[in-house]
């Protein structure tokens, strides 16, 4: 039995100071349903979510942080945690090599390029491959697919599944698809992924957003809206990273490109979204068309892999080595 002068041990959000049952319900409705979600929140957002005084929100965040292991770790500890990282094969050995063994969990992999460069096709292939057992290059889990451009095609998924000798109906049932119609809707759907994992016990191992910037570009037109747009993109991409970290799942996003008329030498196209998308993506890959069904992937940015290129092709069977 705890002594009176001993501080109360905080194990769940109900234990936080100044947080009553009504506030707990409001926090859960807003998605703050564990100590980690509160520990990493900002006082302003937490106060708005549950109608709290800012001082109460600060105290709750402080106590949540004290109860969590949020300090420094040794490099050796992080090396051990890296052993938990899973990888999804792209079905191309050359492309897998470029990615360091496949598209990995705990990070965001961005592929950008012109239309027809293979961005969505890689996404479709990953949606099938993520369901494979680990010894076959998958993660044995489900897929959440946020479609912002109306590009998802069940027929294509069936083709890819049949090419691998898998049951097309079973593969399709394990892909949870949502069509986004605005940038706010897109952000809401990414938050719904966490609900699927927590409330419906869905074993989501891959989140696909195809494409990340399309709706933001159409909703925010003109230089006057640029600051608001970039702030929202920043929140959206960091939420996706939080999902990747918290649930050890992989996030694959596709991105559009725009022409740069001021570039006279080299490639005149650049990915949209600015530095926010560039800095937030763990792995950044530029895709371009080559002869016939061949595509070239160039790794632009990675925390530990060297820049390089891989040639692959997209056929009726899916992504393959060229």
Tens of each residue's pLDDT in the chain, 322 residues: 445 555 568 888 888 988 888 998 888 888 787 888 888 888 998 999 888 999 999 999 998 888 887 778 899 988 888 889 999 999 999 999 999 999 999 999 999 999 889 999 999 999 999 999 999 999 999 999 999 999 999 999 999 999 999 999 999 999 999 999 999 999 999 999 988 998 777 799 999 999 899 999 999 988 888 889 899 999 999 999 999 998 999 999 999 988 665 555 556 678 888 888 988 899 999 999 998 889 999 999 999 999 999 999 999 999 999 9
Strand partners, 313: 294, 320
CATH T-level assignment (fold) for domain 80-321 = Rossmann fold (3.40.50)
Scanning the structure block, which residue is given the tokens 């990915």?
Answer: 271
Asked if 302 and 283 count as a contact pair (C-beta separation under 8 A), the reply is: yes
Task: Work out whether the CA dihedral 165, 178, 124, 102 comes out positive or negative.
Answer: negative
The number of helix segments (H) and strand segments (E) in the chain equals 13, 13
Strand partners, 298: 286, 309
3-state secondary structure (DSSP) of residue 99: coil
Rounded CA separation 60/54 (Å): 10
Tokens representing 281 are 């993506």
Rounded CA separation 153/312 (Å): 22
What CATH number was assigned to the domain covering residues 13-67?
1.10.150.20
pLDDT at 1: 46
Backbone angles phi, psi at 215, to 5 degrees: -75, -35
Scanning the structure block, which residue is given the tokens 């979510």?
Answer: 49
Asked if 142 and 176 count as a contact pair (C-beta separation under 8 A), the reply is: yes
pLDDT at 2: 47
pLDDT at 262: 59
Asked if 222 and 161 count as a contact pair (C-beta separation under 8 A), the reply is: no
Domains of the chain, residue spans? 13-67, 80-321
Asked if 104 and 298 count as a contact pair (C-beta separation under 8 A), the reply is: no
Tokens representing 65 are 């942080």
Scanning the structure block, which residue is given the tokens 């049949």?
Answer: 162
């Amino acid at each position: 039995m705890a002594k009176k002068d001993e501080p109360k041990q905080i194990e769940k959000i109900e234990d936080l100071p100044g947080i009553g049952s009504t506030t707990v319900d409001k926090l859960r409705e807003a998605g703050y349903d564990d100590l980690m979600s509160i520990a990493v929140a900002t006082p302003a957002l937490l106060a708005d979510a549950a109608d709290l005084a800012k001082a109460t929100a600060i105290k709750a965040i402080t106590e949540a942080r004290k109860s969590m292991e949020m300090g420094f770790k040794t490099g050796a500890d992080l090396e051990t945690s890296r052993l938990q990282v899973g990888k999804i094969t792209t079905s191309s050995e050359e492309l897998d090599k470029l990615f360091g063994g496949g598209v990995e969990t705990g990070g965001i992999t961005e592929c950008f390029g012109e239309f027809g460069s293979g961005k969505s096709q890689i996404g479709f292939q990953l949606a099938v491959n993520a369901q494979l057992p680990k010894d076959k290059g998958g993660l044995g889990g489900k897929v959440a697919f946020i479609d912002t451009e109306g590009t998802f095609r069940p027929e294509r998924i069936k083709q890819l599944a049949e090419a691998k000798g898998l049951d097309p109906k079973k593969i399709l049932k394990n892909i949870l698809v949502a069509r986004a119609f605005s940038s706010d809707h897109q952000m809401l759907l990414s938050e719904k992924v966490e609900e699927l994992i927590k409330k419906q016990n869905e074993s989501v191992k891959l989140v696909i957003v195809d494409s990340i910037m399309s709706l933001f570009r159409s909703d925010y037109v003109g230089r006057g809206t640029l600051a608001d747009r970039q702030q929202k993109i920043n929140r959206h991409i960091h939420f996706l990273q939080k999902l990747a970290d918290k649930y050890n799942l992989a996030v694959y996003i596709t991105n559009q490109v725009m022409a740069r008329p001021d570039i006279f030498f080299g490639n005149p196209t650049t990915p949209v979204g600015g530095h926010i998308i560039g800095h937030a993506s763990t792995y950044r890959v530029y895709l371009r068309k080559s002869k016939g069904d061949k595509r070239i992937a160039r790794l632009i940015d990675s925390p530990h892999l060297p820049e390089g290129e891989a040639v692959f092709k997209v056929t009726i069977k899916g992504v393959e080595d060229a």
